[in-house]
Amino acid sequence: MREKTMIAKKINENYNYTLYACYAGYVVQAVINNLAPLLFLTFQREFGISLERIGLLITINFGVQILTDMAAAKYADRIGYRASVILAHACSAAGLICMGTLPFVLENAYLGLVASMALGAVGGGLIEVLVSPIVEAAPSSHAKDAAMSLLHSFYCWGHVAVVVLSTVGFTILGMDRWYLLPVLWSLVPILNLLLFTRVPIRHLVEEEDRTPAKQLVSSGIFWIFIGLMICAGASEQGMSQWASMFAEDGLNLSKTMGDLLGPCLFAVLMGSSRAFYGKFGEKMNLRKFMAGSGVLCVCSYLLAVFMKNPLLALAGCGLCGLSVGIMWPGTFSLAVKHCPQGGTLMFALFALAGDVGCAAGPGVVSFVAEHLPKFGLKAGLFAAILFPAVMLVLLRALRKDTALR
347 φ, ψ (degrees, to nearest 5): -60, -40
pLDDT of residue 277: 82
| pLDDT score of 405 | 42
Q: What is the mean pLDDT of residues 81-107?
A: 94
Q: Which residues contact 76 (CB under 8 A, 6 or more apart)?
A: 84, 126, 129, 130, 344, 348
Give the confidence band of 376 by pLDDT, cuts at 50, 70, 90: confident
pLDDT, tens digit (0-9, with 9 covering 90-100), for 189-239: 999 999 999 999 887 655 555 566 677 777 778 899 999 999 999 999 888
**pLDDT at residue 13 in the model:** 54
The dihedral formed by the CA atoms of 222, 227, 231 and 233, expressed in degrees to the nearest 10: 50
> pTM, whole model, 2 decimals?
0.75
User: What is the distance between the alpha carbons of residues 306 and 264, in angstroms, rounded to a whole number?
Assistant: 21
Mean pLDDT of the chain: 83
CA nearest 31: which of 182, 237, 232? 182
Q: How many CB atoms lie within 10 A of CB 315?
A: 17
Residue 43: what pLDDT? 87
Average pLDDT over residues 400-405: 47
pLDDT recorded at residue 52:
76
Given a cut of 50, whether residue 271 has pLDDT beyond it is yes
Q: Write out pLDDT tens, residues 4-41.
A: 555 445 544 578 888 899 999 999 999 998 898 888 88
Q: With contact defined as beta carbons under 8 Å apart, do 245 and 40 qualify? A: yes
**Pick the residue with more confidence: 253 or 151?**
151
Closest CA to 17 of 192, 155, 146, 157: 192
Q: What was the pLDDT predicted at 122?
A: 94
Among the residue ranges 1-15, 77-91, 221-235, 341-355, the one predicted with the least confidence is 1-15
pLDDT at 404: 37
Give residues with Cβ within 8 angstroms of 339, minimum separation 6.
Answer: 211, 216, 219, 221, 222, 225, 346
